[in-house]
Structure 1
């Protein structure tokens, strides 16, 4: 499929015919990067909702479509709402919501920092300039309305409870998080994501849960509805207490190492993770817990870089014989048995099992 990376399509207060009867028909009616503007009670203020930066993460689109079509008329939010639907081509390629990005493409949510993307594994991709251009268009579409808040809605790569991620903590960040979930990861990881762009307002990434989970779609819908309807005259009201987890790290497998999943040690080369690894997304991992098995290269198969670029994996994991063990009490997020995502993104995120509530 040829993509026109310079194209951006605008809809303003779309009618029911444009929105179609269900979200699948609506998605199939879109052509490329699409912006939808919904007029609110306060026409001088904007909020932004981003979704489908990854084409295989449907909850944001499902939640948006449900919010727009729940009544006989369009909702009337407290402020204007700009909705940005990004990777339409990937989401509709072959099977709906099957591709994170196009088979010959790159991850759009790694293209918002041009310096980092040109130093990454994507630097030789023939479509690099196109995806960087689309990222610029998205950032421009956000800046031109000078929003007071931005949410970027995703699904987790594996089955996982909903959580939020931000680069800073403020009362509004905590409030926005509370509309969707009760856990916030404060992150300084720089991978070229939309969240890292220096917008003059709170930017919160919402991970709604697994993409096949109806509850994740419900999290998106209810959070969007509350985000759109909360009063804009003062600081956004917080819905519930939020647990804050500090500075997650990404556990990655080195590019030339084999990755497998199994119930038992099969003496595979490289790294073998437990095939039920996703269950640990739902709670803490205790010191000594077996997460998988390693070949004779041990922890050399893996990497976990801190914010200084130092590999600190031995502070979090250890090897006993060939078992991969937690070296302390940890929380893990986004563990997935989808090999392509685990290899291209990370095996999972890790934080120390220490947190605050605000």
Structure 2
């Protein structure tokens, strides 16, 4: 059940994310007054192991000392139950960032929760929507959009020159909010990194001070725009790891170092158990199976059939099971 507040409990300014479940009692939505309207909508902790967004908001609240923010703000603090134990999502839960309006998941507690949040925050005009995340793999900081319009691209490029456009997975916060207001997902690097927290704080503070989102196109040299063209997952029922421990699949330990670089044709991705055929599957943004376009099994190795640009590759086994092995990108040319 959604908890609602119109002021910040004192404990929220000093607590860790693991304390939030006890303090808030569940997912919570705050409305905080500001010197300017309409409000900014900020979402944090959709995944319990991604604390940087909450820590950045915490720093912003401390900075303004309980006074008026530069701009009013809606704040949604998500999966506090998973944050208590530092897990992305708890067993039996639907991933919060697959549960927003537009999802293809059956109606459940999480989808009802997100419908409630969207209904409340969109009852009056909004300025913009920002959803903050961490990665588990080695990635640059980057922004994501679901609409290729100027305001969305400006909002994303304010965070990073690297911007990703995607339409899947369904049910993500930024796609739901894109129906109402310019929205972005921010990927702030790995949890616990000073640079990740500092960058998130600076971005939020800048957005709170923005008079308006620039309405002129982003200059081509100011943006490196990519599109998600496929999602790669491990087939169900197979064991895998990132070390030589005798699993069905042993992925290379440096797989995440290819993120936003080139995984070249013929490059080995994993060593396979003897006799194992294709252990992964890849689907494009329309849901079509394009595994054979991307991968080949040869001499007991899973190899890249064609050169590709991976993103969000991780060496965290649990995250691979809960989400995916990596996404495959393609560049989008920006007109000069």
TM normalised by structure 1 equals: 0.83
CA contact 2:189–2:196 (8 Å) conserved in 1? yes
Q: 1:243 aligns with which of 224, 233, 249?
A: 224
The 2-side partners of 1:344 and 1:355 are apart by 29
Q: 1:63, 1:220 within 8 Å by CA — same for their partners in 2?
A: yes
Q: In the aligned structure 1, how far is the partner of 2:103 from the partner of 2:76?
A: 24
Give the Cα separation in 2 of the matches to 1:199 and 1:235: 18
Q: Select which of 187, 193, 201 maps to 2:166.
A: 187
For 2:50, the equivalent position in structure 1 comes to 57
How far does residue 283 in structure 1 lie from its aligned partner after superposition?
2.6
2:122 corresponds to: 143
Distance in structure 2 (CA, Å) of the matches to 1:349 and 1:245: 11
**Pairwise CA distance, 1:212:** 3.1
**SS at 2:236's partner residue?**
coil
CA contact (8 A) 1:336 1:348 kept: yes
Shift of 1:144: 2.1
Q: Which residue of 2 aligns with 1:86?
A: 78
Task: Note the alpha carbon deviations across 1:191-241, whole angstroms, 9 max, x for none.
Answer: 322223262222211111112322222221111111111112863896981
1:244, distance to aligned residue in structure 2 (A): 0.4
Aligned CA distance change for structure 1 residues 292 and 142 (closer, same or farther; 3 Å): same
Q: 1:275 aligns with which of 253, 271, 284?
A: 253
Question: How far 1:350 moved relative to its partner?
Answer: 0.9
| Counterpart secondary structure, 1:147 | coil
- The SS at the match of 2:169 is coil
2:188 maps to which residue?
208
In structure 2, the gaps of 5 or more residues are: none
Counterpart of 2:242 in 1: which secondary structure? strand
Distance 1:25 1:254 in 2: 33
Q: Counterpart in 1 of 2:198?
A: 218
Look up the match of 2:29: 35
Task: Quote the Cα distance in structure 2 between the aligned partners of 1:113 and 1:339.
Answer: 28
From 268, 288, 291, the equivalent of 1:290 is: 268
Distance 2:281 2:247 in 1: 19
1:308 maps onto 2:296 in alignment: no
Tell me, what secondary structure is at the counterpart of 1:244?
strand
SS in 2 for 1:226: helix
2:59/2:201 contact within 8 Å kept: yes
Q: Which residue, 148, 163, 166 being the options, matches 2:142?
A: 163
Q: Structure 1 regions of 5+ residues with no counterpart?
A: 119-127
State the secondary structure of the residue aligned to 1:42. coil
Please state how far the C-alpha of 1:337 moved relative to its aligned partner: 1.6
Instruction: Say whether the 8 Å CA contact 1:112–1:192 is kept in structure 2.
Output: yes
Q: Distance in 1 between matches of 2:110 and 2:80?
A: 13
Residue 221 of structure 1: SS of its match in structure 2? helix
CA distance in 1 between counterparts of 2:255 and 2:186 reads 22
Kindly tell me the number of residue pairs found equivalent between the two proteins.
331
Contact 1:64–1:221 at 8 Å: present in 2 too? yes
In the TM superposition, residue 66 of structure 1 has moved relative to its aligned partner by 0.8
- Tell me: CA distance 1:237–1:11, structure 2 relative to 1, closer, same or farther (3 Å): farther
Structure 1 residue 87, shift from structure 2 partner: 1.2
In 1, are the aligned partners of 2:229 and 2:284 still within 8 Å (CA)? no
